[in-house]
Amino acid sequence: MIYTVTMNPSIDCFMELSELVEGATNRASEQRMVPGGKGINVSRVLHRFDIGSILLGFTAGFTGAFLKEELTAEGLQAHFTDTPGMTRINMKLKTAKETEVNGPSPEISQDYVSELLRKLELADKDDLLVLSGSLPPSLPADTYRTIAEKTPLKTVVDTSGIPLQKALSARPYLIKPNIDELTALYGQESADTSGAVLLARKAVADGAKNVLVSRGAESALLVSADRVLEAAVPSGTIHSTVGAGDSMVAGFLAGLANGHPPEEAFRWSIAAGSATAFSESLCSKKLVEELLPSVSVNEYKEESV
Ligand SMILES: Nc1ncnc2c1ncn2[C@@H]1O[C@H](COP(=O)(O)OP(=O)(O)O)[C@@H](O)[C@H]1O
Ligand SMILES: O=P(O)(O)OC[C@H]1O[C@](O)(COP(=O)(O)O)[C@@H](O)[C@@H]1O
């Protein structure tokens, strides 16, 4: 079984408008509200691949109730813990560009993390744990590391900044930084492909078994102690990149769950990320399957590192 943890879920409220004028009343032509948050998106995509997961994390208020209703109606196992406050709303504004305003997290006390750990005690040692998204600021920055260290489960961590840096020492099976998150992790402004490989290798030296680096339309890398793989990303028309990174995590896990080795799971990951970027919402299995043949993976040339 796969457990996904979303400590700071959201309702993602998508609005389309021709332009966004600061300081004016803007009117949207379209509006759509969907469950959001990184672990939740991973579970929603896995479900499209007929892979079950248990969704853990914290929900609050009527927005939290909406989340649980929607996810349950979709056939997902939403086992969230209710907390005081209000699950946030994240605005996703689509003009010619994508602008995001993510709401603040409710305050979550340490007691709720203890309750989450109790729920994880039910997991089997062969289960997989996905810790995804930002941490509520009321929790210590090493919360993911603490959870990963307290469970015997193989762990995937998809977060950024200090929580990611701290989680590395818990030796996660996989981390999935985008290029900005990877460069920020090591205090750099930017990195080209060889720079990204160097930084991903640092992350491996610091504890990650596999580092899946997404670089938007440019390429993606899968770096582990013994090899570096690079893949080109399919081209297509972008509808919304919200959830594309989460779809990569889900695609990778779906590939593994279907018995494929990591290099093939890497292909699934890119096909899923791009399928979401080319869709209005999260990817369909059908589009992922259509894109798969166009994703080729190569060993990264060592001499150019
Ligand atoms: N312009 C694009 N064209 C094709 N695929 C894209 C594009 N932007 C994103 N993707 C897909 O989404 C994945 C994740 O995108 P990226 O922006 O790097 O990560 P994140 O969503 O985590 O910030 C990419 O690896 C790729 O598969
Ligand atoms: O927890 P964070 O970092 O604020 O991110 C939450 C947001 O990220 C998403 O999970 C999408 O993430 P990606 O685009 O990186 O896949 C949204 O659903 C959500 O609004």
Residues of the chain with pLDDT under 70: 302-305
Q: What was the pLDDT predicted at 305?
A: 45
Q: What was the pLDDT predicted at 42?
A: 99
Q: Single out the residue of 86, 74, 4 nearest to residue 37, CA to CA.
A: 4
Q: What percent of the chain has pLDDT over 90?
A: 98
- Model confidence pLDDT, tens digit, residues 252-303: 999 999 999 999 999 999 999 999 999 999 999 999 999 999 999 999 986 5
* 132, β-bridge pairs: 158
CB-defined site of ligand 1, < 6 Å: 178, 214-217, 220, 233, 236, 238, 241, 244-245, 248, 270, 273-274, 277
82 counts as catalytic: no
Q: Is the pTM of this model over 0.95?
A: yes
Residue type present at position 233: V
**Distance separating alpha carbons of residues 16 and 23, to the nearest angstrom:** 18
For residue 45, the ligand closest to its alpha carbon is: 2
DSSP letter, residue 18: S
* 89, β-bridge pairs: 11
Q: How much distance in Å is there from the Cα of 12 to the middle of ligand 2?
A: 9
- The CB of 246 under 6 Å from ligand 2? The reply is yes
Q: Single out the residue of 287, 282, 291 nearest to residue 45, CA to CA.
A: 282
Secondary structure E strands in 215-261: 220-224, 228-231
What tokens does 123 get?
Answer: 């997991």
What CATH number has the domain spanning 2-304? 3.40.1190.20
Contact 1, 123 (CB under 8 A): yes
- Domain chopping of the chain, boundaries: 2-304
Q: How much distance in Å is there from the Cα of 226 to the middle of ligand 2?
A: 31
Mean pLDDT of the chain: 97
Give Dmax (Cα) for the chain: 56
Among 248, 281, 296, which is best to mutate for testing ligand 1, by the most ligand atoms less than 8 A from CB?
Answer: 248
**Distance separating alpha carbons of residues 19 and 160, to the nearest angstrom:** 30
Residue type present at position 30: E
Interface TM-score (ipTM) > 0.90: yes
Q: Around 10, how many Cα atoms within 13 Å sit in the side-chain half-sphere? A: 26
